[in-house]
Amino acid sequence: MSTTTTRLVFFFTAGLGLIGWFSSTLARAGRISNGYTDADLELISEVPDSTGINAFGISVAINNGVALVGASGERNTGQAHLYNSHTAQLLTTLVPDKEIPGDAFGRHVALDKSYALVSSLQGTHVYDLATYEQLYILPETPGHLSWSHAIDVELGHAVIATATESVVYDLASGERLAAFNGRAGTMSISGDSVIIGDYRNDSVSVYNWKSGLHLFDLSPGNLPESTRFGVSVDAYDARVVVVATGVPGSAYVFDLTNGKLIHELQGSHSLGNTQSLSSFGGDVVINGSIAIVAAYRLGDSLLLDGEELEKYELNQGAAYAFALDSGEQVRKFTTLGPQTGGWAQYGFSIDYDGQQVIAGIGFGGWPKKAFLTTFVVPEPRSFVLLVAGTVCAYLMQFHASRRH
């Protein structure tokens, strides 16, 4: 092989590695405003709302290219909308078979690979994602004053938190598999474990839903009064995150195998404001190695096209992504919010499927929106490709030089 050919192979192979690494890095980039990542796409309610009843975005879910946005109060009964999360194209609008005024349909939503779940005062409606047909209604109605995680799904199982118990179902058959008595504001399911939070009593308990055994309680120790520990929880594999709102608010990462505290998470913002309406914490979601904690009451200074906005924008809202292993904050998200009036409350509801973050804005402003932001953690194989390509090309050049 000639020296020229060897050099071409060197640069070509190394170039492949660089392309893989840069494409992975760029895939998680977005428009930045003062350190925040703004949304790539907006999902907008088409129903006018002069009364504030329309709660489009009060609950959200995302899974493998499909986004689900709850809109309790929309057209009075409430609706839920399914979108292609990559194009923002509306796929269908879900409504209950029996429409009842004031039914709060869409207050809580969840997505599994094959099912969409939507709560109402009638119960929890289960839809087939392939046909959009309603399959059945589970009798449990989530506590509608609780946080967004009043329904959680994993691998064909669902857990629903009500005012008196948490119930586990098999979604394929609709069979009730387990139930745990006690008030639940929020809960999550991961493998054989169910995590139940009651923020009114600052308590979070972990059960094995197959055996029915209480495993342990989660506590960071020495909690201040009125922290609302357990206002939101989410679990993934061997990790669980518990949110405690308050001033300034925190989130705690626990080992789900033994209940031990690993990290305390706190978001950073430029104002350092400690007012009660600027507290960190709210809805939470874990996927893979990332936990995202919302702070829908956060105010901060923002930059738009290089010009600073108001120093303190009440209830602008934000969400923070953390690396679960290190506790390091790796990204923060927000939006400029509604076009007219009200508070943005970005992150009132939030979900993440490892590819995209979806966030709802709560009750403020018009038009009502939900926001989609691409956020992909670079895979190690991209960096490995870069190193391997460079080493391989170097060895080829070294071998060619030895021959000459």
Alpha-carbon distance 322 to 98, whole Å? 42
pLDDT above 90 covers what percent of the chain? Answer: 44
Mean pLDDT of 386-394: 52
User: Cα 23 vs. chain centroid, distance in angstroms?
Assistant: 24
Mean pLDDT of 374-401: 57
Tell me which of 26-40, 223-237, 362-376 is least confident: 26-40
Stronger pLDDT, 75 or 69, i.e. the higher one: 69
Across 38-42, 101-105, 250-254, the highest mean pLDDT is recorded for: 250-254
pLDDT at 139: 87
**What is the C-alpha radius of gyration for the chain, rounded to an integer number of angstroms?**
23
Alpha-carbon distance 308 to 324, whole Å? 32
Alpha-carbon distance 279 to 219, whole Å? 20
Task: Give me the chain's average pLDDT, please.
Answer: 79
pLDDT in tens, 3-58: 555 454 444 544 544 444 444 333 344 454 557 788 889 998 888 665 556 789 99
Tell me which of 69-73, 107-111, 265-269, 382-386 is least confident: 382-386
pLDDT in tens, 202-219: 889 999 999 999 999 999
Alpha-carbon distance 103 to 101, whole Å? 5
Stronger pLDDT, 101 or 312, i.e. the higher one: 101
- What domains sit in the chain, N to C, each tagged with a CATH number? 29-377 (2.130.10.10)
Alpha-carbon distance 208 to 221, whole Å? 23
pLDDT in tens, 158-206: 999 887 888 999 999 999 999 998 767 788 999 999 999 888 888 899 9
